[in-house]
Structure 1
Amino acid sequence: MKNWISFPKVEGTASRQAHVRLPAGTYERELGREGFFGPATQMHHAHPPTGWTSFDGPLRPRAFDLNHLDHMPNSPLEAPALMGNGSTQVRLWRFKGRMDHLVRNADGDDLLFFHQGGGHLYCDYGHLEVREGDYVVLPRNTCWRLETDEAVMVLMVEATGDAYKLPHKGLVGTHAIFDPAVLDVPALDDAFQAQKHERETLVRVKKRGQLCAMTYPFNPLDAVGWHGDLAPVRLNWRDIRPLMSHRYHLPPSAHSTWIAGRFIVCTFVPRPIESDPEALKLPYYHSNEDFDEVLFYHRGQFFSRDNIHPGMVTYHPSGFPHGPHPKAYEVAQKFERKETDEVAVMIDTRDPLDVYQAMDGVEWGGYADSWKAK
């Protein structure tokens, strides 16, 4: 256990509570540790912390339009890697049709988020129908394939050498955010029985980033039954009922959905905007002291961003302050919007991320300049 140096103090002109009743003419920035879970200070500035006139070097915020990635491999194991580190690999898989082989990821659990399209996922445990907005957690080494009549666009987040767990929900109880009862598991239904056969079947396996192959004289998805508490699970964002406070803007950690050892995955879904006139009404300026932040935009208008549309992803490395864009901040100050309509997936990683070559042709080069006051 860490014993943080703790000495709560107040200097100069400051609010009594975080994110509430900011001193007139100031901009609040949170400096925090452990990604909103550790000690933090609310700094009040005379100018926006994102008010730079130029930005250069490896810390710059970056944005990418994944809609322009046109590579469509027939295997998720060959989906282009977008960014990653020793704890996670983030990929994008675009596919249409019927996989002619099975796959297994021996490197870690896979989290699939269906941004577009759906279909039928067959795996060791049975059959699972999937649609737009679904998360599917595939435990490490699960054997599976996908059939779809429409094009799918799937964000894939690997927990390298690790497993996904549910966040602790503390005071609000185990049924908050989403009741675990809504987690669906595959079924040994008629569709699963119909896919069984005695024909030669190829299974491709990823281990330590390398692809291997095994050939069986039959379809190894041949389970006749199973029991236990390890299986793929499905969760749609529409079943997430976010924590809300009309008097206080909750941190991103309140929207945690999946937890791994070195990163977390949060989901932002539509909700009412804070109505208390003294409360901050959008994400506050903050500095990433311990985590890199990735945001994938699924649908709607992200209420703290300008010029961002579904299918884009932003990357904010640890080490610089960031927060709402000027226009979004102005709209929030006037309380012109009463609720959000966005759905977004956030990946916060404790270890720095590398951006891979696949992203070279889809970057919005002017993203770092988008905070400049117009």
Structure 2
Amino acid sequence: MRKSISFPLKVGECSKQAHADFPEKAIYEREAGRSGFFGPASHFHHQHAPTGWSEWEGPLRPRAFNFNLVEKAAQLSPWLVPHLLHNADCKIRVWKIDQSMEFLVRNSDGDDLLFIHQGKADLYCDYGHLEVGEGDYVLIPRSTNWRLEPHEKMFILMIENTNASYNLPEKGIVGSHAVFDPAVLEVPQINDQFKAQYSEDDTQVHMKRGEKISVITYPYNPLDAIGWHGDLSVVKLNWRDIRPLMSHRYHLPPSAHTTFVGDGFVVCTFVPRPIESDPGALKVPFYHNNDDYDEVLFYHAGDFFSRDNIEAGMVTFHPAGFTHGPHPKAFKAGREYKKKFADEVAVMIDTRNALSFADEAAQVENDQYVYSWRESVKR
């Protein structure tokens, strides 16, 4: 697909190009863009930080949640934990489990993407046996029978692609082997561990459809396949196998870090990388109002350099239509180039349609997060 040459309009004092060499009079750049960094965009140069509000009233505001504290997250079945953030396309929840499941589960509503935040386990499913652990994405196709046998306490972020399937992103001119080579994806095996769980004992399958649960009992274990072939499977990807796109002279937009594409949303992964070294390049995420997407960030590990008072297991939410970006300390540190390496791992979920919140999410919200862009944070 070819793109014709177009030239943006220029009014007043502005930089030669986005995210670099700002005018001295206005060091704060703000991007207003459409279609999640792929559509038309303009870049403003402001004399004050675009996030410098003194007060905020109304429900549409930036939020932070501590998902470590969700009370109903510890359940034997993932279908018993609440949806914390959700819309018709995407349902986000966290699940904590520390003992083996004595039954199978099956989601007939859509594909599930599990991100293993903590712990490790053996996963048994229609396709075989797979070891999963910290930092793994595990993609489970719709209507797959599966269960976990944890070896230690597990904390799992679950992202349902309702009524649709996950795909890999188009990687354009960098080619299909960039970011991660599909060859690193792992699939379950019909190995000795899988064969050892064959049985003639009664086995239940807890099937979810339309958020209602049916229990199907078999007089044997349905995970009895001796082999399979095809191009549909459970697959595993660890964040350590992601090799991010980078530029020492240009701060790339979040879309460059897309890992999976759902129907109405994308899942991106931020992993450790060198910080831009060019003297004129922006070295922290740029201020922007992503006017078509809600943005959710789950913090997994490391030093979250663009955020204050954020720890692993927490989630931030930035709704479409308002400006957000680095906190003041991070912006100042970026200007001074104090850090040379971004040592963080986070999962981002950008949704095209507005997300709603469950009561369980509201119960673990930090209601002062909206003021965290102040130079002096309100307590």
Q: TM-score band (shorter)?
A: over 0.9
Instruction: Give deviations 1:297-327, integer Å, cap 9, x for gaps.
Output: 0001111111101000001111110000001
8 Å contact from structure 2 (residues 96, 156) kept in 1: yes
Partners of 1:256 and 1:169 lie apart in 2 by 9
Map of 1:64-103 to 2, 5 A cutoff?
Answer: 64-71=65-72, 72-103=74-105
Structure 1 residue 16 corresponds to structure 2 residue 16: yes
Q: Which amino acid aligns with 1:232?
A: V
Q: Secondary structure at the match of 2:273?
A: coil
Count of residues paired in the alignment: 372
Structure 1 residue 148 corresponds to structure 2 residue 150: yes
Partners of 1:44 and 1:330 lie apart in 2 by 17
Partners of 1:94 and 1:8 lie apart in 2 by 50
Q: Which amino acid aligns with 1:120?
A: D
Q: Percent identity over the alignment?
A: 59
8 Å contact from structure 1 (residues 258, 265) kept in 2: yes
Q: Secondary structure at the match of 2:194?
A: helix
How far 1:360 moved relative to its partner?
2.3
Q: Which residue of 1 aligns with 2:160?
A: 158
How far 1:46 moved relative to its partner?
1.1
How far 1:7 moved relative to its partner?
6.6
Query: Which of 289, 293, 296 pairs up with 1:294?
Result: 296
Q: Which residue of 2 aligns with 1:186?
A: 188
Out of 19-28 and 332-341, give the one that drifted further: 19-28
Q: Secondary structure at the match of 1:219?
A: coil
8 Å contact from structure 2 (residues 82, 358) kept in 1: no
Q: Which residue of 2 aligns with 1:308?
A: 310
8 Å contact from structure 1 (residues 299, 343) kept in 2: yes
Out of 17-26 and 180-189, give the one that drifted further: 17-26
Q: Which amino acid aligns with 1:344?
A: A
8 Å contact from structure 1 (residues 292, 315) kept in 2: yes
Map of 1:199-348 to 2, 5 A cutoff?
Answer: 199-348=201-350
Structure 1 residue 33 corresponds to structure 2 residue 61: no
Q: Secondary structure at the match of 2:296?
A: strand
Partners of 2:249 and 2:297 lie apart in 1 by 25
Runs of at least 5 residues in structure 1 that lack an aligned partner in the other structure: none
8 Å contact from structure 2 (residues 198, 224) kept in 1: yes
Q: Which residue of 2 aligns with 1:48?
A: 49
8 Å contact from structure 1 (residues 325, 370) kept in 2: yes
Runs of at least 5 residues in structure 2 that lack an aligned partner in the other structure: none
Q: Which residue of 2 aligns with 1:113?
A: 115
How far 1:227 moved relative to its partner?
0.3
Q: Secondary structure at the match of 2:333?
A: helix
Partners of 2:211 and 2:45 lie apart in 1 by 46
CA RMSD of aligned residues (A): 1.3
Partners of 1:248 and 1:129 lie apart in 2 by 38
Structure 1 runs (4+) deviating above 2 angstroms are none
How far 1:288 moved relative to its partner?
1.9
Q: Secondary structure at the match of 2:251?
A: coil
Q: Which amino acid aligns with 2:71?
A: D
Instruction: Give deviations 1:61-94, integer Å, cap 9, x for gaps.
Output: 0001111123311001112211100001001100
Q: Secondary structure at the match of 2:371?
A: helix
Q: Which residue of 2 aligns with 1:177?
A: 179
Q: TM-score, normalised by structure 1?
A: 0.98
Q: Which amino acid aligns with 1:106?
A: S
8 Å contact from structure 1 (residues 317, 352) kept in 2: yes
Partners of 1:254 and 1:178 lie apart in 2 by 12
Partners of 2:326 and 2:159 lie apart in 1 by 26
Q: Which amino acid aligns with 1:369?
A: Y
Partners of 2:169 and 2:141 lie apart in 1 by 17
Q: Which amino acid aligns with 2:9?
A: K
Q: Secondary structure at the match of 2:153?
A: strand
Instruction: Give deviations 1:318-364, integer Å, cap 9, x for gaps.
Output: 11100000011001110000001100000000000001111122111
8 Å contact from structure 1 (residues 59, 318) kept in 2: no
